[in-house]
Structure 1
Amino acid sequence: MKVVTIIGARPQFIKSGAVSRSFIEYNQTNPKESISEVIVHTGQHYDSNMSDVFFEQMNIPKPAYQLDINGLGHGAMTGQMLEEIEKVLLIEKPDWVMVYGDTNSTLAGALAASKLHIKLAHIEAGLRSFNMRMPEEVNRILTDRVSSVLFCPTDSAISNLEKEGYNDLDIAIVKNGDVMMDASLMFSAFAKAPQEEIPSNFILTTVHRAENTDDPERLKNIFKALNTISQETPVVLPLHPRTKSFIEKYDIQLGSNLHCIDPVGYVEMLYLLKNCSLVLTDSGGLQKEAYFFKKYCLTLRDETEWVELIDNGFNKLVGADFETIMAAFKNAHSQSPDFSLDLYGNGEASKKIIEGLLKHK
């Protein structure tokens, strides 16, 4: 069986790292019915610190195809990816195309597979933020609809699909757990400090979502809060390239105790997660990783697809309102959620993906 895996953004490198390792382990014990994987890197994240470093650190097989498509608007980027991925699929003729999450790379891979009538597996299916202004929401909904198998990380994801009528469609739904947890368990022992000096007792922050970076009022409010918080507790911010450009565009001033560092690799991010006291982020993946490492999280968004984190008190939505962010920060030290609660499986999600591919081939 041949699988073409489409990846292009940081979280997808991490997720595919866990699944690729499971493919290798499966082939070692099942040589007569092995699974070959061909990795296609669209180039959506092209900064070497946000792309190449993941393959080096996590021992993910190097991509067989590098499409180098980046720096474009949504339409142009998705269209060019669709065109180039289609060429790859015509050459490779896989049994499956596998996509992750909700990026433009995800949608382009899904459209290419569906138009060529190749079975599509969507990892992290069924997630919904219920905000159609988010390009990620559009991507995940469209990808789910053209998939052959939907691998869902949570009960709420399955519930979303059921409400949308997926039980009446010829699409298999599998609850497999979260491959991000697999990756965290696999690679946590390799955590290492970034090259930059990191203060003690710090807050880890990431900001990159278009809904925040593209809106000057939201971004200014967020950084006003980060500057204020940093006067009390140091804030470490691995700075996404596009966020950096908007900070410069809007002439946002950064406080002296707001430590902006270059984007970090996955093992450095694991170090930051292990050693921080609190997480502030607009990243979907980092919300979960905070939970994996037993850290309370404030989410700089108005909604999240990871509703179980909110419902069980591990996470609080604070949007981009200065007063709301500050009030939640002041209350964060009093939060003591039960991190022994199992929300995302026991680290077997990747193995269940393999089982699902074999069952529905």
Structure 2
Amino acid sequence: MSDLVLHITGARPNFPKAAPVIRALSAVGVNQRLVHTGQHYDDKMSAVFFRQLGLPRPDYDLGVGSGSHGRQTAALLTALEDLFVELQPAFAVVYGDVNSTLAAALVAAKLGVRLAHVEAGLRSFDMTMPEEVNRLVTDRLSDVLFATSPDAVAHLGNEGVDPGKIHLVGNPMIDTLLANLENFDAEAARTTHDLTGSYVVATLHRPGNVDDSADAQALVKTLHSVADQVQIILPLHPRGRASLEEAGLLAHPRLRVVDPLGYVEFLGLVRGADAVVTDSGGVQEETTMLGVPCLTLRPNTERPVTISHGTNRLVTREELPAVVAGVLATGRATTWTVPPLWDGQAGPRIAKILRDELMSEASAR
């Protein structure tokens, strides 16, 4: 077994989480390599993040592409197994809850490679979400679990995870946000998108909102009701685009659809918004730090800390127009709370623990 730490990334949410960990491990001299599975593969969903976040060029790009959950996971398992056998890493580090994370966890477990999960312990308790399945399996197989919030630590404890494996380290995605904060230019975003006055940003792609045609139609009707009150700009994820457009998404003159944006451009747009309507997990965290009202169009969230210590609120489609009206009338708060340890130092905390684990393992050999 080598002393190599192998980072497995594959989708847009992984990259802001991985960047500060890779940077911090590099600062303490740890031997590491970066794998990009290619689960997300076009420029706006992948390559732009490497450019903007200072991520090193991936050492391995597996190019698995898209597909159904089963087909994609099968391709990931095959490609990652070959790579793990070749490299014999001491640790595999996985991020979040995407299919690349699940596949890497399974491969590591089968081959006896130690596994570290960044963002462990998040739970929605909704088993209809593919991400929830991925979280549960990954955490069960992990040797080191890095939690972003106290509720995540509690979930892991309730599931019987050895407390010695669990580390509350804060949120590396917030490290990335704070490191780039001065680049989030709300005025530039307004100019680029020709926005005047109040506006709302929407990001929507979850199966429960876009897969079924009846759900897509109901969502579009709700968004049009919101657009009656305020401009909406919607950077539209490839997932669900066809169903939403077929449901008439583009019919309202004050609802503007744009292609997915780069990290800096998107958060510049969010920073200047009156509110964000989303079903994304990461956006709930980013708005919490930026103080932007976040209306999460889901019945649950695996990030309840963004409600108790942030600006997030769960809403239904039926409630959304009235809630938006209330937010517009109230305006944005000038002060707000943020979760503990969301201070920009999660990456160094993770790096120290991983380095200590490597040193302990080397001493045991």
Alignment TM-score, normalising by the size of structure 2: 0.91
1:312–1:337: 8 Å Cα contact kept in structure 2?
Answer: no
Measured against aligned partners, the alpha-carbon deviations of 1:27-76 in whole angstroms (never above 9, x if no partner) come to 4xxxxxx2122111111112211111111122200111111112211011
Q: Report the alpha carbon displacement of residue 117 of structure 1 after superposing the two structures with TM.
A: 0.5
Question: d(CA) in 2 for partners of 1:325 and 1:37?
Answer: 45
1:18–1:186: 8 Å Cα contact kept in structure 2?
Answer: no
Residue in structure 2 matched with residue 81 of structure 1 by the alignment:
76
- Of residues 142, 164, 178, the one that matches 2:137 is 142
Question: Using a 3 Å threshold, how does the CA distance of structure 1 residues 128 and 261 change in structure 2: closer, same or farther?
Answer: same
1:198–1:236: 8 Å Cα contact kept in structure 2?
Answer: no
Question: d(CA) in 1 for partners of 2:124 and 2:8?
Answer: 23
Question: d(CA) in 2 for partners of 1:196 and 1:246?
Answer: 27
DSSP 3-state at the match of 2:234: strand
Question: d(CA) in 2 for partners of 1:51 and 1:288?
Answer: 20
Question: d(CA) in 2 for partners of 1:15 and 1:313?
Answer: 19
DSSP 3-state at the match of 2:326: helix
- Of residues 219, 235, 248, the one that matches 1:238 is 235
- Of residues 22, 25, 33, the one that matches 2:24 is 22
2:310–2:337: 8 Å Cα contact kept in structure 1?
Answer: no
> What code does the residue aligned with 1:332 have?
V
- Of residues 345, 349, 352, the one that matches 2:349 is 352
- Of residues 185, 206, 219, the one that matches 2:178 is 185
- Of residues 282, 296, 301, the one that matches 1:299 is 296
Residue in structure 2 matched with residue 30 of structure 1 by the alignment:
none
DSSP 3-state at the match of 2:35: strand
Measured against aligned partners, the alpha-carbon deviations of 1:298-334 in whole angstroms (never above 9, x if no partner) come to 0011100111222346211113x2x211222122243
Residue in structure 2 matched with residue 226 of structure 1 by the alignment:
223
Give matches, 1:272-291, under 5 Å.
Answer: 272-291=269-288
Question: d(CA) in 2 for partners of 1:76 and 1:125?
Answer: 25
1:196–1:261: 8 Å Cα contact kept in structure 2?
Answer: no
1:308–1:343: 8 Å Cα contact kept in structure 2?
Answer: no
Question: Using a 3 Å threshold, how does the CA distance of structure 1 residues 144 and 198 change in structure 2: closer, same or farther?
Answer: farther
Question: d(CA) in 1 for partners of 2:184 and 2:275?
Answer: 18
> What code does the residue aligned with 1:199 have?
L
Residue in structure 2 matched with residue 154 of structure 1 by the alignment:
149
DSSP 3-state at the match of 2:319: helix
> What code does the residue aligned with 2:195 have?
P
Question: d(CA) in 1 for partners of 2:192 and 2:85?
Answer: 45
Q: Report the alpha carbon displacement of residue 336 of structure 1 after superposing the two structures with TM.
A: 4.3
DSSP 3-state at the match of 2:13: helix
Measured against aligned partners, the alpha-carbon deviations of 1:167-196 in whole angstroms (never above 9, x if no partner) come to 37xx60000000111000111223354695
Deviates more, 1:37-46 or 1:99-108: 37-46
2:306–2:339: 8 Å Cα contact kept in structure 1?
Answer: no
Residue in structure 1 matched with residue 320 of structure 2 by the alignment:
325
Verify: 1:173 aligned to 2:166, yes or no. Answer: yes
Question: d(CA) in 1 for partners of 2:251 and 2:82?
Answer: 45
Deviates more, 1:61-70 or 1:143-152: 61-70
Question: d(CA) in 1 for partners of 2:130 and 2:339?
Answer: 30
Deviates more, 1:281-290 or 1:179-188: 179-188
Question: d(CA) in 2 for partners of 1:311 and 1:264?
Answer: 29
Aligned CA RMSD, in angstroms, stands at 1.9
1:181–1:344: 8 Å Cα contact kept in structure 2?
Answer: no
Question: Using a 3 Å threshold, how does the CA distance of structure 1 residues 356 and 224 change in structure 2: closer, same or farther?
Answer: same
Residue in structure 1 matched with residue 362 of structure 2 by the alignment:
none
Q: Report the alpha carbon displacement of residue 340 of structure 1 after superposing the two structures with TM.
A: 3.6
Question: d(CA) in 2 for partners of 1:73 and 1:352?
Answer: 36
Question: d(CA) in 2 for partners of 1:258 and 1:148?
Answer: 46
Question: Using a 3 Å threshold, how does the CA distance of structure 1 residues 59 and 162 change in structure 2: closer, same or farther?
Answer: same
> What code does the residue aligned with 1:182 have?
D
Question: Using a 3 Å threshold, how does the CA distance of structure 1 residues 342 and 71 change in structure 2: closer, same or farther?
Answer: closer
Residue in structure 2 matched with residue 13 of structure 1 by the alignment:
15
Query: Quick one: percent identity of the two aligned structures?
Result: 38
Structure 2 alignment gaps of length 5 or more: 359-365
Question: d(CA) in 1 for partners of 2:311 and 2:172?
Answer: 19
Residue in structure 2 matched with residue 269 of structure 1 by the alignment:
266
Question: d(CA) in 2 for partners of 1:304 and 1:57?
Answer: 28
Measured against aligned partners, the alpha-carbon deviations of 1:57-115 in whole angstroms (never above 9, x if no partner) come to 22200111111112211011011101101111112221110000001011011111111
> What code does the residue aligned with 1:263 have?
P
Residue in structure 2 matched with residue 31 of structure 1 by the alignment:
none
- Of residues 30, 34, 57, the one that matches 1:35 is 30
1:6–1:100: 8 Å Cα contact kept in structure 2?
Answer: yes
Deviates more, 1:244-253 or 1:38-47: 244-253
